[in-house]
Structure 1
């Protein structure tokens, strides 16, 4: 018997698959870098980066966190997938595949829990909105987010305009010296199509009127109810988006697992 060892050459990696994965991930990586850069730039504009203790001064949710967290995750995953596919590095490919699988599992779990505990989620959404109503004037990004939500869903406050009593500038107490006392933000106002210039004072003193008269000037429905109605009206679209994202994740994950197997044999 010959003492020579026969080296088995594994299957070669398809250039199409390799560069498809590389291209997909470089886009993912660049998007992550863009999100991260926007988040860090916004923090720098607020002075947070020069005074880290100011993070604790934000009473409500800071939308910049969303950019930083999402951008950071996308940047790391994009880097791992991009370099892993280009250099045929099985460690980075495994990291990308496992992390993407974990994200898919967390999304699936969150979807199931959201359906089972929908009443609890509704209470948490109400608590979240009210907390951010209190901090409306504390952060310009938060203010823009609340204004966008109230304009988009034609709503005001969590359950109605009186939720703005939680804010020190809009509450109706006699001790409130603010000109916005007993008012609401302009984003609660019913828009007049004939107006070309936005009237930012349209919500002043509006809650001094009786509720029936308020309906002519502001939205009287809460954002929690309007958001639920929007979800019901767009259930097929929302479900389709989430299913599409899930299928894309599964497909990419399978492709990477296949590449890991091929690269492992090839090395």
Structure 2
């Protein structure tokens, strides 16, 4: 009818913003699915999927948990962002933005609490590192993670090399039958600039440096050749 104007509802999300958000979340979703797949594959290789109780048997941290948890969160967020942007679903977009905001505030709160309760955090970190030192040989992924951390941060144990006495394989007692007795992992050793290989404190035992019969009964006398504790770096 003349004089009557038709009003068209404008899209709630702009075209450029819509496809940018969709593309970003596709990448986010794929990465999350990849992380999750790697985690599940690693658990399958270790027989965890066929024996769920194995998840609680490990005394230390299983690094695969990081892939599974992070991958799961990224997959859910990426899916919500993709569908929300493509279908202009405000509920999914709000879920996506609220979840991201929640993660940000959790990180902020964690940083503030870590500063306020730094002594308690230090003690918990010391306890956490020593628990993983005890479980060093129990899981190959944990072993690789500890070696990487000690090499990357140039440290050894929580307080120092003597923490490796907590591990049944490296424990420095006469009753310990292990070939690695009184030793430390290779990642604890300092590289000598004058040598092309990692500095040997005494002799090679397996894949780790250990003290020979000529060395003192405890590692303390040769600590100068080893890294300091990870907690103090």
1:163 counterpart residue number: 163
1:203 aligns with 2:202: no
Instruction: Please list, as runs of the form range in 1=range in 2, the aligned pairs for 1:1-267 lying within 5 A after superposition.
Output: 8-12=7-11, 13-193=13-193, 194-195=195-196, 200-205=207-212, 208=217, 211-216=220-225, 218-219=226-227, 221-226=228-233
**1:101: how far off?**
1.5
Q: Residues 162 and 219 of structure 2 are in contact (CA less than 8 Å); yes or no, is this contact kept in structure 1?
A: no
Once residues 75 and 64 of structure 1 are traced to their aligned partners in structure 2, the CA distance between those partners, rounded to angstroms, is: 16
Once residues 132 and 176 of structure 2 are traced to their aligned partners in structure 1, the CA distance between those partners, rounded to angstroms, is: 20
CA RMSD of aligned residues (A): 2.2
SS of 2:99's equivalent in the other structure is helix
Once residues 101 and 127 of structure 2 are traced to their aligned partners in structure 1, the CA distance between those partners, rounded to angstroms, is: 31
Q: Residues 32 and 71 of structure 1 are in contact (CA less than 8 Å); yes or no, is this contact kept in structure 2?
A: yes
Q: Which has the higher contact order (CA 8 A, sep 6+)?
A: 1
Once residues 84 and 6 of structure 1 are traced to their aligned partners in structure 2, the CA distance between those partners, rounded to angstroms, is: 31
Bigger helix share: 1
Q: Residues 182 and 207 of structure 1 are in contact (CA less than 8 Å); yes or no, is this contact kept in structure 2?
A: no
Q: TM-score, normalised by structure 1?
A: 0.77
Once residues 159 and 207 of structure 1 are traced to their aligned partners in structure 2, the CA distance between those partners, rounded to angstroms, is: 20
Once residues 15 and 121 of structure 2 are traced to their aligned partners in structure 1, the CA distance between those partners, rounded to angstroms, is: 46
Once residues 121 and 137 of structure 2 are traced to their aligned partners in structure 1, the CA distance between those partners, rounded to angstroms, is: 26
Once residues 6 and 96 of structure 2 are traced to their aligned partners in structure 1, the CA distance between those partners, rounded to angstroms, is: 30
SS of 2:209's equivalent in the other structure is coil
Change (3 A) 1:126 1:209: closer
**1:177: how far off?**
0.5
Runs of at least 5 residues in structure 1 that lack an aligned partner in the other structure: 227-267
**Residues 130-188 of structure 1 deviation map (CA, whole Å, 9 limit, x = unaligned):** 00000000000100111011111221110011111111111112211001111111111
**1:203: how far off?**
3.2
Once residues 121 and 129 of structure 1 are traced to their aligned partners in structure 2, the CA distance between those partners, rounded to angstroms, is: 12
Q: Which moved more, 1:29-38 or 1:87-96?
A: 87-96
Once residues 158 and 116 of structure 2 are traced to their aligned partners in structure 1, the CA distance between those partners, rounded to angstroms, is: 22
Q: Which moved more, 1:64-73 or 1:89-98?
A: 89-98
